[in-house]
Structure 1
Amino acid sequence: MTKFQGTGIAIITPFNDDLSVDHSALANLVNFNIENGIDYIVISGTTGESVTITKSEKKAIIDTIVKANNSRVPLVLGIGGNNTAEVIDEIRTTDLTEIDAILSVSPYYSKPTQEGIYQHFKAISKACPVDVILYNVPGRTSSNMTPETTLRLAKDFSNIIAVKEAGNNVHQYLKLLRDKPEDFLIISGDDDLVLGVVLAGGAGVISVIGQALPKQFSKMIRLGLEGKAKEAYDIHFQLMDMTSLIFSENNPAGIKAVLESLNLAKPNVRLPLVQASDSLKKAIKDALQTLN
């Protein structure tokens, strides 16, 4: 399971001005992150604007990232939804040869019971030929997957190897860390909380800000995994303002504004999202100056 320890990035989908996928920028972003120390890449997650990407675009995005990666780091693919049968169909019809695991979000909108969530992931586990990372993000799904449900799944299905926990709930993190099976990974989806989670026994992060500041962020996570709290918190404090800024309007508009300032991608997003406001872009530029 060490392949999913450390810093994973929830990579954006860069768009040209006509809102077509900017494959050149995507390949450059992959190289930039690998060269600066990230440990794995998550494709087509929330930050990748998966809900406004077509099936053909998703395949082309996977192809671009696989080619740019050239087997250097593990790849995780987002395949999830609130229609269990449709999720299973996508798993079965997607070429997962170059994919190390899928990241599957807890069902949204439908607001299932905990038993419904369990049965959803049981069906996914049985259909999936690669490892499964659960994804709990109640701020988007309107439904919290409780630690009891997560750990029940962890114990019952050997290919459910981890959870990306993004509930911004310290108590829930601690319950998972205390009660999890030894080889089950607790991965933070909260950039602002991850260092504390890692120091308490977490495996690392699937980060948004990490793709813009991979050298600093991955160093912080490595120090945390080594138990070097003071050195890690020194970096955490430096990154605090920027981490807060990128989520102040919407994700991924914030991180795309950072990447624009770094000349790594254009700030374009697809409706119903809109670009970061001019005031946020200025605040981001100012914050970047303090990190240079």
Structure 2
Amino acid sequence: MTLTGLYVPLITPFDADGAVATGALDTLARDTLDHGATGLVALGTTAEPSALTAAERALVLDTVAAVCASRGAPMLAGAHDAAALGALAAQPAVTAALTLVPPFVRAGEDGVVAHLSALAGASPVPLVIYHVPYRTAQPLPAAALRRIAAIPGVIGMKLAAGGIDADTVDLLADPPPDFAILGGDDLYIAPLLAMGAHGGILASAHMATRAYADLITARGPLPLGRGLARLSAALFAEPNPAVIKGVLHAHGRIPTPHVRLPLLPATPAAVRAAGTAAGRQLDDRAYHAV
């Protein structure tokens, strides 16, 4: 099984009382699939999972799983330890877990491979590894990424190196067989697709979903990629997902723009700039995902 296409890591909307707005999450999930997403990600980092209680994480997972099951859409779920992975056994809608390279400890290549091998061996679902070294502080050369790809039960990687570095070039020039490489840096998705990435896990695709889906289908054509890169830059101008939530709220798609500490709400200027960028994409291309 090789995952392809556009996967949207859904935000967690909150209501005016600060509770998870499950109705808004359900509608957002359905709208995103209606506008071209291949599948959804629940409890990715865009969902603020560390700020949710265990009961809230279960509620988010149940809500997104119900939508994906009803649509026959693939679903990834953020799960980074044995307990979280074990809980996915009760979720038949989950296609795979999105599992982070262990952050902060800088375990080294051998430690990372051993850790991910242990998780994959215990997991009830396959793993898609999230490699984002500018957040985890764990760089990995292309040779290490190939070692991870060879772990039984690992079927893909969300690759977010912060640009197009030499290891990204090396990996995409000779990708492991039957292994999905999904671009995770929204700003660079067009060149990643042109180099051979199989798809993307893109928070920016909460807006202009159809345009991002078309970009992936067309393998990153330059004019469309330029416009979406500007949109992604605007949406990530402040810590994610604050700007995305601000724009979604401004367009009436979620009840509040609230985020939870340590995040702060996006500034009005950032929301206006991103809303303008999203609106330009929609007007120019007659897409109606916002």
User: Do they fold alike, i.e. is TM over 0.5?
Assistant: yes
| Residue 286 (1) aligns with residue 281 (2) | no
How high is the TM-score relative to the length of structure 1?
0.91
Measure how far apart 1:204 and its partner are.
0.8
- AA in 1 matched with 2:247: V
Shift of residue 22, structure 1, vs aligned partner: 0.7
Counterpart CA distance in 1 for 2:40 and 2:50 is: 18
Structure 1 Cα separation of the partners of residues 248 and 140 of structure 2: 32
Which residue does the alignment assign to 1:249? Answer: 238
Asked whether the 8 Å contact 1:111–1:143 carries over to 2, the reply is: yes
| 1:106 counterpart letter in structure 2 | V
How far, CA to CA, are the matches of 1:91 and 1:175 in structure 2?
31
Counterparts of 1:1-292 in structure 2, within 5 Å, are 1-2=1-2, 4-69=3-68, 70-80=70-80, 87-94=81-88, 95-155=90-150, 157-170=151-164, 171-224=166-219, 232-265=221-254, 266-291=256-281, 292=283
1:52-83 superposed Cα distances (whole Å, 9 cap, x missing partner):
11111111111111222314210001001xxx
Identity of aligned residues (%): 27
Deviations 1:159-210 (A, max 9, x none): 2111101112312221111233221111110111111111211101000111
Deviation of 1:259 after TM superposition, in Å, equals 1.3
Partner SS state of residue 42, structure 1: strand
- Counterpart amino acid of 2:155? I
- Name the SS of the counterpart of 2:127 in structure 1: strand
Could you tell me how far apart the structure 2 residues matched to 1:151 and 1:188 are?
16
How far apart are the structure 2 equivalents of 1:247 and 1:191? Answer: 9
Give, in whole Å, the separation in 1 of the partners of 2:200 and 2:190: 9
Q: Which runs of 5+ in 1 are unaligned?
A: 81-86
What is the CA–CA distance in structure 2 between the aligned matches of 1:281 and 1:169, rounded to whole Å?
24
Q: Which residue identity does 1:177 align to in structure 2? A: L
Task: Return the letter of the residue paired with 2:234.
Answer: L
Alignment check: 8 A CA contact 2:65 2:91 kept: no
Letter in 1 for 2:169: L
Q: CA deviation at 1:221?
A: 0.9
- Asked if the contact 2:208/2:278 (under 8 Å) is kept, the reply is no
